[in-house]
């Protein structure tokens, strides 16, 4: 059996625990807030957007299955690029993932506070859900509670997560059943099934909250060194959590559109979100389902908090791996011998999560940035797997992905497209930031020519995405139409995939 060389972690997680971590990380605030946003962008075709997002994440998940089973390491998402392309790739991945994970914790706690405002007056300052000082203080107290729970050890975290995730599954199931009792099929054709065309479907995937809702694979990989029989458990948990989440999300969106009162659609699909600031709570009240509205608010407080708890556990393992790769402060690779928890990394996670609640007050304000950052990190997975296939063919692969030559470049292409669909407004500063950081670290590594040569594809890839975003129709100059932009990004992806695979260490 493959052994993890991490020090101090305890193998205490089984298949149920890991699947609950995957479903719990995917199923957070996304289902609570995304339904009207994606309906605004894509109309009834938002169902196609949810299905597209699920397939895209599943394809990347299949690649992650091979990596996770072969290299069950703490903070695996940082270890994979370190193994395939060296310290510069590990540094960029660690930076992107740490920012994304810690800000995700903040997003989830902000979402819980926004819904709690339906019961507790004084938490929300306005209809947009910006916090009062009392609301921000409540967020800080919840973050401190998650910090304390995770500091107590993985076993207690897993027990709490299993209970919360079970509740998180039962409430959306009740929502689906009750809303389908008020289903009106005419809602899907009243103003056309695709009122905003293919661009609406694509934009909904990236900026409507869909990709943000689905991106919960990496917490499974972050705790891989604490999993019993990881070679079998990790692939099953990855696939099961994505498939189950896709099914629930598609059914929720279908139920949402089908149960909308006709009066809400008078202003068109682009205005649905304006009428439903707390979507499933508000629609339940409009339909006379007061009991369901109460349960939704209760779950809306608990569900995002549970997802924040998952990332409060995953982020320290990423920071630990970042430090262990030798590209971050060494103090963060210390693990508490009694609890098996990387305490310094957990403390940094808490501090960063608290910081992210300061400048970004609402749920919608952060999702484009976090979705783009996470999808960038996901895009590296096929490149790492392809490089390791060439450079380390003898590496044991308990889960060997069949059709890898097809699935790897296609999943990378899909990840790249989703990044571009996020839009110029976000990418115009996010990509230059990553390019500058990556280039600076490459100059720092100049003493090791192999380390630099192996990652020259990275700035080229990021610059290519930036150019297509600028020229494309997703908030850019619209020099290129949607089809031309997608084809261009597809060609770029195939070139970079082959380049990265051939330049492995």
Tens of pLDDT, residues 290-312: 999 888 888 888 888 988 999 99
- What is the number of domains present in the chain? 1
What mean pLDDT is predicted for residues 453-462?
88
Given this model, what pLDDT does residue 366 score?
60
The per-residue pLDDT for 446 is: 60
- Per-residue pLDDT band for 5 (boundaries 50, 70, 90) equals very low
Q: Is the residue at 4 inside a domain?
A: no
Q: In residues, how long is the chain?
A: 505
| Residue 481 pLDDT exceeds 50 | yes
Q: What is the pLDDT of residue 4?
A: 41
- Is residue 1 assigned to a domain? no
pLDDT at 359: 53
Kindly report, residue by residue over 218-233, the tens digit of the pLDDT. 888 888 888 888 888 9
- pLDDT range class, residue 363, cuts 50, 70, 90: very low
Cα–Cα–Cα angle for 313, 316, 321, nearest 5°? 130
pLDDT for residue 125: 82
Query: Can you spell out the DSSP letters for 113-140?
Result: HHHHTTTSTTSBSSTT--B-HHHHHHHH
pLDDT band at 193; cut points 50, 70, 90: confident
- pLDDT in the model for residue 42: 86
Distance between first and last Cα of the chain: 25
Whole-angstrom Cα distance, residue 103 to residue 92? 17
Q: Are 401 and 62 in contact (CB under 8 A)?
A: yes
Residue 25: name the closest of 217, 302, 240, 239 by CA: 217
The average pLDDT across 102-110 equals 87
Residue bearing the bigger pLDDT, 485 or 208: 485
Mean pLDDT along residues 182-196: 83
- What pLDDT score does 26 carry? 83
User: Does any domain span residue 445?
Assistant: yes
Contacts of 347 (CB under 8 A, 6+ apart): 147
Q: Residue 425 sits in a domain of what CATH number?
A: 1.20.1740.10
Token pair in block for residue 465: 């995405």
Q: How confident is the model at residue 450 (pLDDT cuts 50, 70, 90)?
A: low
Residue by residue, what is the 3-state secondary structure of 231-272? Answer: HHHHHHHHHHHHHHHHHHHHHHHHHHHHHCCHHHHCCCHHHH
CA dihedral in degrees (216, 221, 225, 229; nearest 10)?
90
Query: Using CA atoms, how far apart are residues 271 and 161, in angstroms rounded to an integer?
Result: 36
Average pLDDT, the chain: 85
Residue 480 reports pLDDT greater than 90:
yes
**pLDDT confidence of 365, banded at 50, 70, 90?**
low
- Cα separation, 281 vs 388, in Å, equals 48
* Both structure tokens of 341: 């928890």
Instruction: Name 408's bridge partners.
Output: none
CA-CA-CA-CA dihedral for 108, 114, 115, 119, to nearest 10: 140
pLDDT in tens, 271-291: 777 778 778 888 999 899 999
**376 belongs to a structural domain:** yes
pLDDT, mean of residues 86-106: 87
**Predicted pLDDT of residue 31:** 77
Q: What is the mean pLDDT of residues 88-117?
A: 86
Q: At 280, list the tokens.
A: 């499933």
Choose the weakest-confidence range: 92-106, 110-124, 457-471: 110-124
In the structure, what pLDDT confidence band is assigned to residue 23 with cuts at 50, 70 and 90? confident
> Is the confidence at residue 59, as pLDDT, over 80?
yes
What is the percent of the chain with per-residue pLDDT over 90, rounded to a whole number? 31
In a domain, 447, yes or no: yes
46-70 and 30-42 helices cross at what angle (nearest 10)?
130
For the ranges 12-26, 134-148, 398-412, which has the lowest average pLDDT?
Answer: 12-26
Whether 56 maps to a domain, the answer reads yes
- The encoded tokens of residue 382 equal 């096929």
Stretch among 17-26, 297-306, 323-332 having the lowest mean pLDDT:
323-332
Evaluate whether residue 6 is within a structural domain.
no
pLDDT digits (tens, 9 = 90+) for 120-145: 888 888 766 678 889 889 999 999 99
User: Is a pLDDT exceeding 80 seen at residue 374?
Assistant: no
With a cut of 80, say whether residue 268 has pLDDT above it: no
pTM over 0.85: no
Q: What's the pLDDT band for 1 if we cut at 50, 70, 90?
A: very low
Q: Is the pLDDT of residue 253 over 90?
A: yes
Report in angstroms the alpha-carbon separations of 405 from 213, 412, 486, 499, 500: 28, 12, 21, 14, 14
Residues 6 or more apart in contact with residue 476 via CB below 8 angstroms: 423, 424, 469, 470
pLDDT at 383: 94
477 pLDDT more than 50: yes
Q: Higher pLDDT residue, 359 or 33? A: 33
If we measure between CA atoms, which residue out of 445, 344, 437 comes closest to residue 93? 437
3-state secondary structure of 473: coil
| CA atoms lying within 13 Å on the CB side of residue 349 | 35
Q: Is the residue at 412 inside a domain? A: yes
Looking at mean pLDDT, say which of 2-6, 88-92, 118-122 comes out highest.
88-92
pLDDT of residue 464: 96
Phi and psi angles of residue 265, each rounded to the nearest 5 degrees, phi first = -100, 5
Query: Average of pLDDT values for 460-486?
Result: 93
Highest mean pLDDT among 161-175, 194-208, 438-452: 161-175
Residue span of the structural domain in which 401 resides: 15-502
- pLDDT value at residue 368: 65
Helices of type H across 325-362: 343-356
């Amino acid at each position: 059996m493959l052994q993890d060389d991490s020090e101090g972690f305890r193998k205490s997680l089984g298949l149920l625990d890991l699947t609950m971590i995957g479903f719990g990380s995917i199923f957070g605030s996304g289902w609570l807030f995304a339904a009207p946003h994606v309906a605004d962008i894509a109309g009834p075709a938002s169902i196609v957007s949810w299905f597209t997002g699920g397939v895209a994440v599943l394809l990347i998940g299949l690649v992650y299955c091979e990596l996770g089973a072969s290299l069950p390491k703490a903070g695996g998402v940082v270890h994979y690029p370190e193994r395939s392309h060296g310290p510069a790739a590990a540094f960029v991945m660690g930076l992107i993932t740490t920012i994304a994970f810690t800000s995700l914790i903040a997003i989830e706690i902000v979402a819980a506070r926004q819904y709690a405002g339906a019961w507790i007056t004084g938490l929300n300052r306005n209809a947009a859900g910006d916090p009062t000082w009392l609301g921000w203080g409540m967020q800080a107290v919840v973050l401190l509670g998650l910090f304390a729970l995770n500091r107590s050890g993985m076993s207690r975290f897993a027990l709490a997560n299993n209970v919360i995730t079970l509740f998180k599954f039962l409430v959306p199931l009740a929502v689906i059943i009750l809303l389908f009792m008020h289903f009106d099929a005419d809602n899907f054709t009243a103003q056309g099934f695709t009122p905003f065309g293919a661009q609406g479907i694509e934009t909904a995937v990236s900026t409507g909250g869909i990709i943000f809702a689905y991106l919960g694979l990496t917490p499974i990989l972050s705790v891989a060194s604490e999993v019993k029989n990881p070679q079998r458990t990790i692939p099953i948990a990855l696939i099961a959590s994505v498939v189950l989440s896709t099914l629930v999300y598609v059914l929720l969106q279908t139920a949402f559109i089908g149960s909308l009162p006709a009066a809400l659609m008078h202003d068109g699909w682009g205005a649905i979100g304006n009428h439903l600031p707390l979507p499933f709570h508000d629609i339940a009240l409009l339909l006379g389902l007061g009991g369901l509205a109460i349960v939704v608010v209760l779950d809306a407080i608990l569900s995002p908090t549970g997802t924040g708890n998952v990332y409060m556990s995953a982020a320290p393992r990423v920071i630990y791996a970042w430090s262990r790769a030798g590209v971050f402060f060494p103090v963060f690779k210390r693990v508490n011998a009694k609890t098996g928890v990387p305490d310094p990394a957990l403390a940094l996670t808490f501090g960063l999560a608290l910081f992210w609640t300061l400048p970004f007050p609402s749920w919608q304000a952060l999702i484009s940035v976090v979705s783009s950052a996470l999808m960038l990190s996901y895009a590296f997975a096929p490149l790492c797997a392809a490089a390791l296939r060439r450079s380390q063919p003898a590496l044991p692969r308990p889960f060997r992905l069949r059709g890898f030559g097809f699935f790897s470049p296609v999943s990378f292409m899909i990840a790249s497209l989703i990044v571009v669909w996020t839009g110029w407004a976000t990418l115009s500063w996010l990509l230059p930031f990553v390019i500058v950081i990556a280039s600076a670290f490459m100059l720092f590594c100049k003493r090791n020519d192999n380390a630099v040569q192996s990652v020259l594809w990275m700035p080229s890839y990021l610059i290519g995405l930036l150019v297509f975003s600028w020229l494309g129709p997703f908030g850019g100059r619209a020099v290129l139409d949607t089809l031309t932009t997608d084809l261009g990004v597809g060609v770029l992806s195939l070139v970079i995939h082959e380049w990265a695979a051939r330049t492995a260490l």
